[in-house]
């Protein structure tokens, strides 16, 4: 997978590096183009890695069968994380592997019309959260809600204009705690995959269609944040992103990339690249349905098809043994 290693830097470049025939083999091709003649070969090559899975039972049905692997689940875990790129315009992200914390934020674009830097608040939140984590005693468990609250207070106090959605997730470092914790505001979101199937998906907070709750000096802080936790185990994959990801790519399509990447031995960076590339391509499509176009037809009664052009942030965190 060395061709996916980190030299790239724009979504367009990433998108071009993911072989189209590979996408077609996994049903992720959005453009109606003639496929190379080796497509069947790639499909069988890929299929040889694993049995294709159907959508399977939803999160509710997949819970409750944890007992058999409980001893393994209790082993010390850590996050091996990556993001496809450093900068994302009005989106921002951070991560700290040793502390087991990742976060993404999305500056609310409406502020752009008022002539302010719509990315100031999201960058402020992620910069403040990262600084807070770095300043903590190593090994200190991170509470995502407290971290988001402090990051908000720092950002608001700095006078940053605008507002932002945000999500922060943490996994207690090193020890025997296998609990993934989260706090989020708005439609910055995440999904947890186990065996390539979703076992948890955050639900967006919005006032009305396309108007997510946000953190801003005017609208306030983290009182409305959604918080929660779940047990994770080695091999779980956490995909964290802004609406540029989740409005363009269906959960099932992300699951396909997670299964493909797991079967092919992707690194977190490889997987983040491919997920971001799929989201980018979909965001420019005028044809295929996206989560956004379906919602838009439902809530606005329009005839929209295709994706939603937006900044796209994707962080992928593998849950791995603390001793690996
Ligand atoms: Mn966005």
Is 161 among the domain residues?
A: yes
Domain count, the chain: 1
The pLDDT of 24-42, averaged and rounded, is 61
CA distance 319 to 78: 6
Is 67 among the domain residues?
A: no
Compute, in angstroms, the gap from residue 243 CA to the centroid of ligand 1.
Answer: 5
8 A C-beta contact, residue 32 and residue 301: no
Compute, in angstroms, the gap from residue 226 CA to the centroid of ligand 1.
Answer: 19
CATH number at residue 130: 3.60.40.10
Is 35 among the domain residues?
A: no
CA distances for 317 relative to 39, 43, 183, 185, 240, angstroms = 30, 27, 16, 20, 8
DSSP string, 225-267: -EEEEEE--TT-EEEEE-HHHHTTS-HHHHHHHHHHHHHHT--
Of 106-110, 122-126, 186-190, the poorest mean pLDDT is in 106-110
Is 172 among the domain residues?
A: yes
Residue-level pLDDT at 41: 61
Of 2-11, 36-45, 107-116, 305-314, the poorest mean pLDDT is in 2-11
Residue-level pLDDT at 166: 98
Compute, in angstroms, the gap from residue 166 CA to the centroid of ligand 1.
Answer: 11
Is 65 among the domain residues?
A: no
Compute, in angstroms, the gap from residue 70 CA to the centroid of ligand 1.
Answer: 38
Structural domain harbouring 103? 75-321
Query: Looking at per-residue confidence, does 83 or 1 come out higher?
Result: 83
Q: Ligand 1 is a single-atom ion; what residues have CB below 5 A from it?
A: 106, 242-244, 310
Compute, in angstroms, the gap from residue 92 CA to the centroid of ligand 1.
Answer: 10
Compute, in angstroms, the gap from residue 212 CA to the centroid of ligand 1.
Answer: 10
Is 231 among the domain residues?
A: yes
pLDDT digits (tens, 9 = 90+) for 14-29: 777 777 767 776 677 7
Sequence-ordered alpha helix ranges (H) in the chain: 11-17, 20-25, 39-47, 59-62, 70-73, 120-135, 144-157, 243-246, 251-264, 268-283, 291-300
Is 202 among the domain residues?
A: yes
Is 96 among the domain residues?
A: yes
Of 87-91, 122-126, 188-192, 304-308, the poorest mean pLDDT is in 87-91
Compute, in angstroms, the gap from residue 214 CA to the centroid of ligand 1.
Answer: 12
Of 60-64, 124-128, 141-145, 165-169, the poorest mean pLDDT is in 60-64
Is residue 311 pLDDT above 90, yes or no? yes
- pTM comes to 0.83
Is residue 254 pLDDT above 80, yes or no? yes
Compute, in angstroms, the gap from residue 312 CA to the centroid of ligand 1.
Answer: 7
Degrees to nearest 5, angle at CA 185 with 154 and 166: 60
DSSP state of 136: S
């Amino acid at each position: 997978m060395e061709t996916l290693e980190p030299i790239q830097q724009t979504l367009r470049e990433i998108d071009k590096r993911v072989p189209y025939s590979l996408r077609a083999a996994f049903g992720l091709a959005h453009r109606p183009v003639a496929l190379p003649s080796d497509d069947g070969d790639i499909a069988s090559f890929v299929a040889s890695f694993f049995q294709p899975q159907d959508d399977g039972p939803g999160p509710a049905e997949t819970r409750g069968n944890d007992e058999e692997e409980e001893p393994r689940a209790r082993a010390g875990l850590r996050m091996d994380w990556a993001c496809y790129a450093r900068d994302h315009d009005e989106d921002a992200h951070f991560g700290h592997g040793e502390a087991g914390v990742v976060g993404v934020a999305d500056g609310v674009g409406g502020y752009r019309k008022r002539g302010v830097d719509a990315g100031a608040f999201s960058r402020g939140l992620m910069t403040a959260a990262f600084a807070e984590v770095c300043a903590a005693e190593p090994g200190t468990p991170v509470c995502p809600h407290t971290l988001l609250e402090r990051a908000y207070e720092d950002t608001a106090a700095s006078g940053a204009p605008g507002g932002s959605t945000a999500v922060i997730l943490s996994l207690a470092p090193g020890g025997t705690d296998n609990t993934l914790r989260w706090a989020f505001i708005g439609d910055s979101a995440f999904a947890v995959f186990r065996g390539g199937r979703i076992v948890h998906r955050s639900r967006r907070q919005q006032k009305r269609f396309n108007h997510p709750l946000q953190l801003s000096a005017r609208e306030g802080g983290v009182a409305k944040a959604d918080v929660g936790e779940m047990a994770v185990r080695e091999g779980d994959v956490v995909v964290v992103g802004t609406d540029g990801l989740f409005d363009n790519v269906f959960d099932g399509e992300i699951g396909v990339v997670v299964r493909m990447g797991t079967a092919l031995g992707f690194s977190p960076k490889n997987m983040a690249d491919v997920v971001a590339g799929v989201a980018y391509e979909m965001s420019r499509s005028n044809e295929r349905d996206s989560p956004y176009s379906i919602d838009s037809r439902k809530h606005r009664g329009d005839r929209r098809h295709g994706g939603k052009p937006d900044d796209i942030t994707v962080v992928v965190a593998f849950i791995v043994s603390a001793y690996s």
